[in-house]
Structure 1
Amino acid sequence: MSGDPVASFLPGPPVDRTVWEGWQRWCATRRQFQPAPVLTARQYADRSPRQRRLYDLHRLATHSSLPVQATPMSDLVADTVRACIEDGAFSHKAGTRTGVMVNGGGAQGKTETVCEAVACFEEEWLALHGQVNPDAMPGTRDLVAPVAYVRCPVKATPISTCQRILDFYGEDYKGMRQEDLTRLVKRAIVDHATKALIIDDITRLKLHREADQDVLDLIRDMMSMPVTLILVGVGIPSSGLLRDGRRDPKSGQWIFPPVRDRGRSPNPHAATQHERRFELVELNTFSYDTPEQINAWTEHLLALEGSLRLLNDTSGMLTGGTMPEYLFRRTAGVVGLLEKIIQRGCRLAIADRSELLTIDLLQQVALSATDLPDLDADSGEQPVIPPVKARPRKKPKPRNTVFDDDGPGEAVG
């Protein structure tokens, strides 16, 4: 713990990825956190009380900031997202870009998987262009934003959706009408050289409201621009977002008819648009049925073991004995729930000085919806949390009564 032991683990200002400055800071700092060093119980005991307390706080920060581990399922999603963005960004054609819909349950890491993939694309894209916008007009200094990240508003309207996008760029839209906002969004995407637009929590659109349908029309209309749309949500196939589309049996992509200019939907060029295409990719949970699936789950736990900072040797702490099966039952293979259980368990293990994760200790950890406050329950973003089931008690073995003394027998008359 060299240098300032406190500054090494204190978090900085909150990061808001829905604005350009916050997105840039997240991209630059997302791998900078330094976990607590590994100490033995003897090394810990040799420290002063203040040093031990600082080390405990550093361990708390470490367990609260467990690294996002890649999984076979997240690798598939990341590869699909990167491929679609690169296909669109490096294309010299003016046609419609294929979009991506990333579907999956709550707390499965959809957002982090997509953000990591597009952040890697942005770093490579900026390096290729010397960190500047190659299409900028001489004399202008528009910020370069190859990636824009926004979250779909709850009870969205075309106006609020446009405002969320413009907020990312820091554009001034005060007093603008819907048509003006739409034009400003399109101009901002071009001026800031945006190649990928992520709209998270897209299934907040329920589509039983006319405003939600107008927002979806607005999003599809954006596909006529040189930007790849990435829509992230829970339960997309059953949400109604795809209800007027059809799946191409050859490409596996969802194909949509041209957007019609109806209601309040701002689509001035709808009549000349081509069919819109989205590729739907699923971020699945871990499974525990086949040897391959069990091995993948165990390897994931093994990687997490290396991030634990308990004074006992953590080797096999998550992968030994029946622990992998127990953790799967507690989480149903959802990585977000697994992270929360481990985080809570480590805090208990430090507090009771056992410095060990065991099934008996983890039985004391009960998760609830309040542990995932950033997920909207009404939109289906909250995962189903398996209840904590009491471990069956072992029945005591019957006692051998061969040598029991039954007392004096009855007198024989």
Structure 2
Amino acid sequence: MRTRIEDGAFSHKAGTRTGVMVNGGGAQGKTETVCEAVAAFEDEWLALHQQINPDAMPGTRDLHAPVAYVRCPVKATPISTCQRILDFYGEDYKGMRLEDLVRTVNAAIIDHATKALVIDDITRLKLHREADQDVLDLIREMMSMPVTLILVGVGIPTSALLRDGRRDPVTKQWVFPPVRDRGRSPNAHAATQHERRFELIDLDPFGYDTPEQIAAWTAHLRGLEDCLRLLNDPDGMLTAGDMPEYLFRRTNGVVGLLEKLIQTGCRHAIEAKAEHLTIDLLQRCTVSPTDLPDLDAESGEQPCIPEVPASKKRKRPGRNSVFDDAGPAAGIAGSA
């Protein structure tokens, strides 16, 4: 992603810039990962130009915004999408028609020297509505602007944004079959426009099958453990014993669910004055869809939340009855 942004930022040609589509499950950390990458690019770009817009018109002082971030509306239209982008820049768009909005978006991107435009939750476009198809056409038109588009969504390969493809297990790239000449569409190659203009990358959840996957999951838990501020938080609170495996079973390796579970557990630990996380304490903590209110369930953004595993009940040892006295009644019954 950084490579695509930098290639587009240093290019002065008027051609279409190759974008990036980031695909992954709900609460998988796609937004955080993308924002971390574009924030690092923004810091380097601002330092390179001494915090000043290198393309600003003499005598003016424009806001220098190398990176812009917006979220796709739940029921998007070209007008609402343009308004979301202009809201980021603080532009006034009252009374503007669609043509004026598109022109203002183009001017805002150029005036603020924006090199990367992130559109999150792009799979809210279902494309069974005419308005959604118009938004997709608008995004295609934005690619002619001097900015690199980064689209983030859930289930992009299975959405109508791209044709169905397969993931190459060796190169980890998505491969799309050639377009057949026969079909009802008068332009059979129109479906390939986004495939040729975007590189699709996946952000998978953590695994727990191989030593490498377990090491990566444990390293993530160690980093999370260092951020906790509980009073009784010795090293290994999240990484020792059965805790890594337990946390994986509770979250399926989804970082968003892990964050909510640890957050809830810390709250219980503070209220109980334990100031320490244990499996028994986390057994009393649950994560529900209401803990993820910013994710649209209809768009598949909410992940599947595993059920709380049943606690293993300890089997009480049997009582030793060797020295029990059966009493006189037992002796009378035996003699009879």
**TM-score, length-scaled by structure 2:** 0.88
Pair 1:307-2:227 in alignment = yes
For residue 310 of structure 2, the aligned residue among 381, 390, 405 is 390
Q: How does 1:285-304 map to 2 (within 5 A)?
A: 285-304=205-224
Question: How far apart in 1 are the matches of 2:51 and 2:57?
Answer: 15
The equivalent residue for 1:44 is none
Change in 2 beyond 3 A, CA 1:130/1:173: same
Q: Is 1:283 equivalent to 2:203 in the alignment?
A: yes
1:327 aligns with 2:247: yes
Look up the equivalent residue of 2:268 and give its one-letter code: L
The 3 A distance-change label for structure 1 pair 237 and 187 is: same
Residue of structure 2 aligned with 1:136, choices 56, 60, 63: 56
1:226 deviates by 1.6
Query: Which residue does 2:151 correspond to in 1?
Result: 231
Moved more, 138-147 or 202-211: 138-147
Correspondence for 2:257 among 337, 344, 350: 337
CA drift at 1:254 = 7.4
- Counterpart Cα distance in 1 of 2:172 and 2:53: 33
Structure 1 stretches (4+) deviating beyond 6 angstroms?
244-251, 253-257
AA partner of residue 250 (structure 2):
R
Partner of 1:170: 90
The alpha carbon displacement at 1:400 in A equals 3.3
Structure 2 letter corresponding to 1:319: T
Say yes or no: does 1:412 pair with 2:301: no
Gap change, CA 1:215 and 1:309, over 3 Å in 2: same
Structure 2 unaligned spans of 5+: 180-189
Q: Distance in 1 between matches of 2:172 and 2:110?
A: 29
Q: Deviations over 1:139-160 (max 9, x none)?
A: 2222221111111011100111
* 1:134-283 to 2 correspondences below 5 Å: 134-243=54-163, 252=173, 276-283=196-203
Q: Which residue of 2 aligns with 1:112?
A: 32
The residue type equivalent to 1:105 in the other structure is G
Match of 1:87 in 2: 7
> 1:118-151: per-residue Cα shift (whole Å, max 9, x none)?
1111111122112222222222222221111111
SS of corresponding position for 2:335: coil
Q: Name the CA distance, whole Å, in 1 between partners of 2:259 and 2:126.
A: 30
Deviation of the 1:241 alpha carbon: 0.9
Aligned residues: 319
Q: What secondary structure is seen at the aligned counterpart in 1 of 2:295?
A: coil
Mapped contact 2:205–2:253 kept (Cα < 8 A):
yes
- Alignment CA distance shift 1:391-1:252 (3 Å): closer
Q: Per-residue displacement from partner, 1:87-113 (whole Å, max 9, x unpaired)?
A: 111123322111001111121211111
Contact 2:72–2:124 (Cα < 8 Å) also in 1: yes
Instruction: Give how far 1:403 is off.
Output: 2.9
Deviation of 1:395 after TM superposition, in Å, equals 2.2
- Structure 1 contact 85–228 (Cα < 8 Å) conserved: yes
- The DSSP-based 3-state class of the residue aligned with 1:306 is helix
1:398 is displaced (CA, Å) by 3.3
2:113 partner letter: A
Distance 2:277 2:262 in 1: 8
Shift of 1:244: 8.3
Residue 184 of structure 2: aligned partner: none
Q: C-alpha displacement at 1:276, in angstroms? A: 4.4
Q: CA deviation at 1:252?
A: 4.4
User: What TM-score, normalized to structure 1?
Assistant: 0.72
Q: Offset of 1:389 from its aligned partner?
A: 2.1
Residue number in structure 2 paired with 1:354: 274
The share of aligned pairs that are identical, in percent, is 77
Q: Does 1:366 align with 2:303?
A: no
Q: 1:190 to 1:253 in 2, by over 3 A?
A: farther
1:318 correspondence with 2:238 = yes
CA contact (8 A) 1:375 1:382 kept: yes
